[in-house]
Chain A
């Protein structure tokens, strides 16, 4: 039996997951991307993580940036290249252009010198990994394209001889088109990874796609990734997350007995609840109840707020009889307030995961997800919600999201449309205009795995919080946004109609 290809974990977070374990060992991978798509960061991280995580030394062959610049630029990612060099774990082969020098080409040549230098460097640090960044630049140094192609092919086969796992980067001119310039993919790479930096609705979105990984399996399609300080590239394997969460029948309180009753006895512990309503219908109040209910039953809640400041939230809560400061002191609550615009959605995902990992809450509330929607594209937003929900479900955490509807009465929002199928429970808060007065209504629209009330009940708010009253019995069309009163006589007639049919 032929032995399968072994894989080398790259050490890049999330990438090894979509690559089903890593890159094929001893093979060459072409990493192609347009300008600013993160090729050099990927390549550098491949080497740095190789040394720091996998204990594999590396050689960096640079055709573009001077080693001096690379050393300085990569410090912000926490990669201390000079130290690694001093420890004999990292070597540069400097093939960056010398602008001051004129080079005359007279007759035929080969890249014997470059190859000798690469072999020398690889030997000197006992390298297992190598990076060539970026090979497109070689073509601009030397005019004879077919000669350069042949020589690169020779170098690539020499790398295989040396059993080095190699990452070659190459430029692309457009996000969706040829794999790389000069057709380099045809002769140098067993495997191709594409980095994209797409402009969509005036927003930049980074994705990574493994196009092929010869001889082994990998996940298909584009996955978003982000580049953050002290980490480098983190791939977010969204749709690859398996739906293997256990569902518990354990119920937890929403913090309001009336609402628990409407939900058939409380919320499920590992479920996602979406609260949708127009501004001022009581979404943040419901979050506050959720927090205090958690604290009262000895649970810890993480509150991620994207609309209001910490002070505002605290003041509101006090107005409803809940003291956030005291809860935070007891370690039962952590409030994290952030501007949605302060980071990209991908960065928010990473940040939320870090917060959950460090605080270890049993409940997470996000107020509101609609605020995050406005900084992203629809697709990016859906991926964000998927990533967060699957992560918190995996941890058996109760998640409460709020979404703001754009119209005061009735209506739905883009947010709901995109995430309602992911959520287990949807609670609607709606304004109801009756006799020239604005009142609030609440109803449980859906609740997976449990019976629940179908009525729309009146909701009132006072200094102790929210109270749920009687159903709107003689009003129709609340959810459609135009409530109509139905005469009492008509109601009775309808009731009788149904009883007579039923009996």
Chain B
């Protein structure tokens, strides 16, 4: 499995962002083991990065690698849909089933 590069954009440390971070870490550990890198970027501290990446909503998770580039917006509270958003739901099964 290729290595995952993930960036999570947040706006300040709130309960919602803490929840998103812990959910994401848990899923990544379970699904990817050590094969991932996660950077948490606080937009309040680095607004120019959000401008460059055109981030509107927070939290926004960007999967930069492996391609295709994907964005997931929200507090990641729905595990199934997060897996779909990261293309992880289809990693062990044929692509055709992903739409179900």
Contacts and interface: CB of A to CB of B under 8 A. Distances in A.
Contacts of B96: none
Per DSSP, are chain A's interface residues mostly helix, strand or loop, or mixed? mixed
A106 B77 contact: yes
A113 interface: yes
B47 A107 contact: no
B85 A114 contact: no
Contact of B43 (A95, A112, A142): A112
B95 interface: no
Given A104-B84, A110-B57, A142-B57, A120 B51 contact: yes
Given A95-B56, A104-B84, A114-B57, A109 B50 contact: no
A113 B50 contact: yes
Contact of A104 (B47, B54, B73): B73
A106 B8 CA distance: 13
Contacts of A93: 51
Which of B51, B76, B82 counts the most A-chain CB atoms under 10 A from its CB?
B51
Nearest to A141: B56
A107 B23 CA distance: 12
Contacts of A104: 70-73, 81-82, 84-85
Given A106-B78, A108-B77, A120-B48, A113 B72 contact: no
Interface string A90-117: 0001111010011111111111111111
B73 A101 contact: no
A383 to B, nearest CB: 43
B97 to A, nearest CB: 17
A435 B8 CA distance: 98
Given A104-B73, A110-B11, A116 B44 contact: yes
A355 B85 CA distance: 63
Contact of B77 (A107, A110, A113, A141): A107
A102 B73 CA distance: 11
B7 interface: no
Contacts of B73: 103-106, 109, 142
A308 interface: no
A119 interface: yes
Contacts of B20: 107
Contacts of A115: 11
Nearest to A95: B56
A107 B44 contact: no
Given A106-B81, A113-B11, A98 B54 contact: yes
Given A106-B74, A109-B58, A109-B73, A116 B50 contact: yes
Contacts of B85: 104, 106
Contacts of B75: 106-109
A113 B76 contact: no
A104 B60 CA distance: 10
B58 A113 contact: yes
B54 A108 contact: no
A113 B12 CA distance: 10
A106 B85 CA distance: 8
A112 B15 CA distance: 14
Contacts of A107: 20, 74-78
A114 B57 CA distance: 6
Which of A105, A109, A113 counts the most B-chain CB atoms under 10 A from its CB?
A113
A117 B51 contact: yes
Nearest to B79: A106
B71 A112 contact: no
Contacts of A121: 51
20 contacts: A94-B54, A98-B54, A101-B69, A101-B71, A103-B71, A104-B70, A106-B72, A106-B82, A108-B75, A110-B16, A111-B56, A112-B11, A112-B12, A113-B9, A114-B57, A116-B11, A117-B50, A121-B51, A141-B56, A142-B73
Q: List the 10 closest pairs (A to B, CB-CB), nearest first.
A: A112-B11, A120-B47, A104-B85, A107-B74, A107-B77, A107-B75, A112-B58, A106-B74, A113-B55, A109-B57
